Structure 1
Amino acid sequence: MIWNLFLGGIPYFIAQFLKLSIKFQENKWLRISTLLVWLLFLPNSFYILTDFFHLNKFNSVPVWYDLLVVATFSITGFLFGLYSLFTIQKILTIHHSKNLSRIIVFLSVYLTAFGIYLGRYLRFNSWDVITNPIDLFTNLFSSLFSTEVQQFTIGFGTFLFVIYFVAATLTFKNQNT
């Protein structure tokens, strides 16, 4: 769980770095490459939520304790993901139209859901893009046509998008009052 939370924090720290780095923001190619790395790690933030599948696997630990630990890590990872999405949307809005930044965030959320599926069920990691690209891309393309993958991606993506939309609406509404 600690490793998953560390990976879940990477998108947040990349977003903060990008927010503070004028050089990376002003250079289109540095900005794009940094955003791609951010997108590659973004599923890790929300992936931790799927660790609820492991509740009560160890009978020596009380269920309530498992629940508290998994919930704490999941909420923290989720917040890392949400705040990184907020930050990236603000950065994109500076360099592009508000509508384009919204579209990119929308697509990022659904790509994230697909990435969560790849991690949870096909057991791929973000670094497999470099260490195991052939196997990753072979499985990635073959899974695109699976009804189960499509349902998971649409369902989990919609879940993430609704939470992001509500949190963004409340956050931006409170900033304007």
Structure 2
Amino acid sequence: MLDALVLGLVGLNVYAVLLVVARAVVFRTRLYRPMLLNVGLSLAPGALMLLMGLFVLLAPPPWLALPVLVLLGLVWLLLLPNAGYLVTELNMSHRQPDDPVPMWFDVLLLITLATSGVVNTVASLFVAHMLFGVVRHGDLAVSMLEPDAVAFVVVILLLVAFGVFIGRHVRVNSWDVLRPWRLVRTVVRGLADKVGSAVAFTLMYATFLGLMYVVVAGSVIRAAIELGF
């Protein structure tokens, strides 16, 4: 089952990149580089989470493990909204009125991009969910259903959804955290007249991601429990 999920994840991202490039080559339009950048950014948190998993497998001493995991976890959390952000490409902001590209092609392209972003988010969170269970409870599958592990997933989904909102509507990036006071001012000012929209989007998008998480990760967790992992 995991092999199929990994194959599907890789295939979606490769297909998304191929469609972006094909759009420029086949229809002789400008290559929309931000889309390629966004695909790369959406993969970054998953790659970082895999590194964290390898770090845990190396069984470092506790005095080293906790600070490293906390630091990497914070960086991962800052990067994770970049994966879910691909859904906002559905606004077709890249398309021009006189674009020679057929609408059906752009619809397929954007659906593929959005789906890859959702799956990247779910896959990265799934690995984080596993690590949380192992670190907190020492188990794998069963511990992922503990109340604190479920609460961990819910909180992360809410933070991701909020991050996507401020990324699109307040126009901030993950690296803006390097200037924390400026970031805080920008977010506060940007949300001044958008609080209702921010709350609605956060709750609705987090619910959507949560349902996708149940569909994808829930079956894997259940299978792992039945197999005794």
State the TM-score, normalizing by the size of structure 2: 0.70
Which residue pairs with 1:136 in the alignment? Answer: 183
Residue type of the partner of 1:80?
N
Q: What do the CA deviations read for 1:110-156 (whole angstroms, capped 9, x no partner)?
A: 000000001111111100111x4323212334538811111111111
1:63 equivalent among 82, 89, 103: 103
- Aligned residue runs from structure 1 range 18-37, under 5 A: 18-22=52-56, 26=62, 27-37=65-75
% identical equivalent positions: 27
Do structure 1's residue 151 and structure 2's residue 200 form an aligned pair?
Answer: yes
RMSD: 2.1
Given that 2:86 and 2:113 are in contact with CA atoms closer than 8 Å, whether structure 1 keeps it comes out as yes
Quick check: 1:122 aligned with 2:170?
Answer: yes
- Per-residue deviation, 1:56: 7.5
Runs of 4+ in 1 over 6 A off after TM superposition: none
Size of the alignment, in residue pairs?
176
Quick check: 1:55–1:66 contact (8 Å CA) kept in 2?
Answer: no
Map Cα deviations across residues 72-97 of structure 1 (whole Å, 9 max, x no partner).
Answer: 22222222111111100000001114
Partner residue of 1:108? Answer: 156
Moved more, 104-113 or 73-82: 73-82
- Secondary structure (helix, strand or coil) at the match of 2:90 reads helix
Q: Distance in 2 between matches of 1:71 and 1:161?
A: 19
The residue aligned with 1:95 is 135
Whether the 8 Å contact between 2:122 and 2:209 is mirrored in structure 1 is no
Kept in 1: contact 2:48–2:76 (CA 8 A): yes
Gaps of 5+ in 2: 1-34, 138-145
The question of whether the paired residues in 2 share the 8 Å contact of 1:5 and 1:77 is answered with: yes
- Tell me the amino acid that sits aligned with residue 100 of structure 1: D
Residue 91 of structure 2 aligns with an amino acid whose one-letter code is F
1:124 aligns to what SS in structure 2?
A: coil
- The letter of the residue matching 2:136 is H
- Residues of 2 paired with 1:86 and 1:77: CA distance? 14
Inter-partner Cα distance in structure 1 for 2:151 and 2:164? 20
> What's the TM-score, normalizing by structure 1?
0.89
Q: Larger Cα Rg: Structure 1 or Structure 2?
A: 2
Corresponding letter in the other structure for 1:137: V
